[in-house]
Amino acid sequence: MNCVVGLRCRECGREFPAEALHVCDFCFGPLEVAYDYDAIAARVDRASIAAGPRTMWRYRDLLPVDGTSAVSLGAGCTPLVRADRLAAALGLGELWIKDDTANPTGSFKDRVVSVALSKARELGFKVAACASTGNLANSVAAHAARAGMASVVLVPRDLERAKIAMTAVYGGTVVAVDGTYDDVNRLCAELASEHPAWAFANVNLRTYYAEGSKTLAFEIAEQLDWRAPDHVVVPVASGSQLTKVAKGFAELVAVGLLDGTAEVRISGAQAQGCSPVATAFAEGADTIRPVRPSTIARSLAIGNPADGWYALEAVRRSGGAIGAVADDEILDAIGLLARTEGIFAETAGGVTIATLAKLAAAGVVRPDEKVVAIVTGHGLKTVESLAASVGPTATIAPTLAAFDEVVDDPWR
Ligand SMILES: *Cc1c(COP(=O)(O)O)cnc(C)c1O
Ligand SMILES: [Zn+2]
């Protein structure tokens, strides 16, 4: 059994049973999973976690599913890489990359989907569904195949080719919609009430789905020998990941796994072509004005972010900031991360690193801080964005002379 006491409305605090519910009947606020932290504290310690599987399910006591029934392709326990060359390039001190490109379908979405589909199977759903900007589609289709469930995935039609292929290959139903992600999401909200037997990972199962992102915080703390970093930089689409990374660090303190108060500053990263949360932060506003996205960072292109306000609040409370970067800065940052650390990120990773650079230059992220940047998706997913900027150094005939003409050897 897990230590979930139920679902709780984030606005009015009313409690609900742990079923496939995501909004409060009374005030329409979003629901959140509530736990008995004393019961968790009595059950887990650092040694019991260390004895668990080398996946995100080693933290099963802090997740809303019985670990025994997990739908898993092995997500989590991704590398935390010390990034000294990148730190030097950005004028920072101790910098780490949380490399979530290493997940089974190449993005952090495997964490949230593993939780959502585990819960869906536990609740008896036979069909997994979602509205996706791409990575969620890949992960839902793959985990549904793993679980022996059917899948129905809706995406904007102009998605990157790799993300369409990485969804369709798993054999589910893939529907390309002529519209933006926000159009797709609205359609899925309607579909969810038409098809109550479908588990939409980010609609009726969203309360559980969101909990998967906490494992990023759990892993970062464990990989730093159970010390919290000073500052974490997180990409923002709907704002769910950022909100739950903050919740994850707070929970580690609540159950006694982290000493002290774990005051982690959290900063957010957006693309200028879709930056409603960064704009609200810059203006000191309390509401988030929806935008129509136009950016190469397709996986972050949510113009009307469901958890944007909560992300904004978590950033403000922690003393962080939210930055936004242009498409050419995103491409430069993809190259910089690859050249300095050997990590190939998709456009969302470029957004995180470019924003980190900007916040470092502004003195918001400081050289005396222990900093973690979360890189959330693999570069092979968005290769077309690099088509104009990467290619062979030279193309030659198969002769020594031709080679010598184009490559000289300073290392001789
Ligand atoms: C979905 C996604 C995010 C963040 O999404 P939220 O909706 O803010 O939780 C970040 N990076 C990548 C690559 C994603 O696919
Ligand atoms: Zn409520």
Identify the pLDDT of residue 223. 97
In angstroms, rounded to a whole number, what is the distance separating the alpha carbons of residues 23 and 20?
Answer: 10
Atom of ligand 1 at shortest range from CA of 299: 15
**Closest atom of ligand 1 relative to the 234 alpha carbon:** 10
Indicate if ligand 1 lies below 6 Å from the C-beta of 236: yes
Residue 262 pLDDT level (bands cut at 50, 70, 90): confident
Strand, coil or helix: 146: helix
Predicted TM-score (pTM) of the model is 0.96
Q: Which two tokens stand for residue 80?
A: 């935390």
Share of the chain above pLDDT 90, in %: 92
Q: Domain ranges in the chain?
A: 80-104+211-386
Would you state the pLDDT for residue 412?
79
Q: Are 356 and 374 in contact (CB under 8 A)?
A: no
Q: Each residue of 147-170: pLDDT tens digit? A: 999 999 999 998 888 999 999 999
Q: Is 180 in the pocket of ligand 1 (CB under 6 A)?
A: no
CATH class name, domain 80-104+211-386: alpha beta
pLDDT-derived band at 34 (thresholds 50, 70, 90) equals very high
Looking at every residue in the chain, the average pLDDT score rounds to: 95
Residue 328: the pLDDT is: 97
Two tokens at 185? 């999401």
Please give the distance, rounded to the nearest whole angstrom, from the Cα atom of residue 27 to the centre of ligand 2. 4
The CA distances from residue 342 to 83, 84, 286, 376, 400, in Å, are: 10, 12, 39, 15, 29
Establish whether residue 240 lines the binding site of ligand 1, counting it when its CB lies within 6 angstroms of any ligand atom. Answer: yes
Q: What are 33's strand-pairing partners?
A: 7
Secondary-structure percent of the chain, ordered helix, strand, coil, rounded to 5: 45, 15, 40
pLDDT band at residue 191 under the 50/70/90 scheme: very high
- 67 pLDDT band (50/70/90 cuts)? low
Mutate to test the pocket of ligand 1, among 376, 380, 381, 385 (most ligand atoms within 8 A of CB): 376
CB 131 near ligand 1, within 6 Å: no
Closest CA to 322 of 370, 288, 369: 288
Closest CA to 306 of 228, 143, 134, 189: 189
Q: What mean pLDDT is predicted for residues 48-66?
A: 95
Residue 248 Cβ inside 6 Å of ligand 1? The answer reads: no
Q: Is 299 in the pocket of ligand 1 (CB under 6 A)?
A: yes
* pLDDT number for residue 370: 98
Question: Is residue 237 lining ligand 1, measured as CB closer than 6 Å?
Answer: yes
From 352, 324, 344, select the one nearest 385 (Cα to Cα).
344
Please name the residue whose Cα sits nearest to atom 12 of ligand 1: 376
Q: How far is C-alpha 52 from the geometric centre of its chain's CA atoms?
A: 23
Q: Tell me: pLDDT of 1 over 80.
A: no
Query: Tell me: the pLDDT tens digits for 305-314?
Result: 999 999 999 9
Please tell me the residue having the least CA distance from ligand 1 atom 4. Answer: 237
Would the pLDDT of 261 be above 80? no
Residue type, 260: G
Residues 323-372: tens digit of each pLDDT: 999 999 999 999 999 999 999 999 999 999 999 999 999 999 999 999 99
Whether residue 2 has pLDDT greater than 90: no
Q: Could you count the other beta carbons within 10 Å of the beta carbon of residue 409?
A: 6
Could you say which ligand is closest to the alpha carbon of residue 135?
A: 1
Tokens of 108: 């952090």
For ligand 1, atom 11: residue with the closest CA: 376
| Residues pairing with 175 in the sheet | 154
Judge whether 86 and 337 are in contact, CB under 8 Å. yes
**CB-count exposure of residue 284 (10 Å: 0-12, 13-18, 19+):** exposed
How many CB atoms lie under 10 A from the CB of residue 144?
29
273 exposed, middle or buried (CB, 10 Å; 0-12, 13-18, 19+)? buried
For residues 29 and 267, give the distance between their C-alpha atoms in angstroms, rounded to a whole number.
Answer: 24
Question: What ligand 1 atom has the least distance to the C-alpha of 100?
Answer: 13
| Three-class SS state of 129 | strand
For residue 260, pLDDT over 80 is answered with no
- End-to-end, the C-alpha distance of the chain in Å comes to 64
Helix 308-318 and helix 276-283: axis angle, to 10°? 40
Q: Of 65-74, 217-226, 345-354, which range is least confident?
A: 65-74
In terms of phi and psi (left: phi > 0; alpha: psi -120 to 50; beta: otherwise), the region of 405 is alpha
pLDDT in the model for residue 40 = 97
Centre of ligand 1 to C-alpha 275, Å, is 14
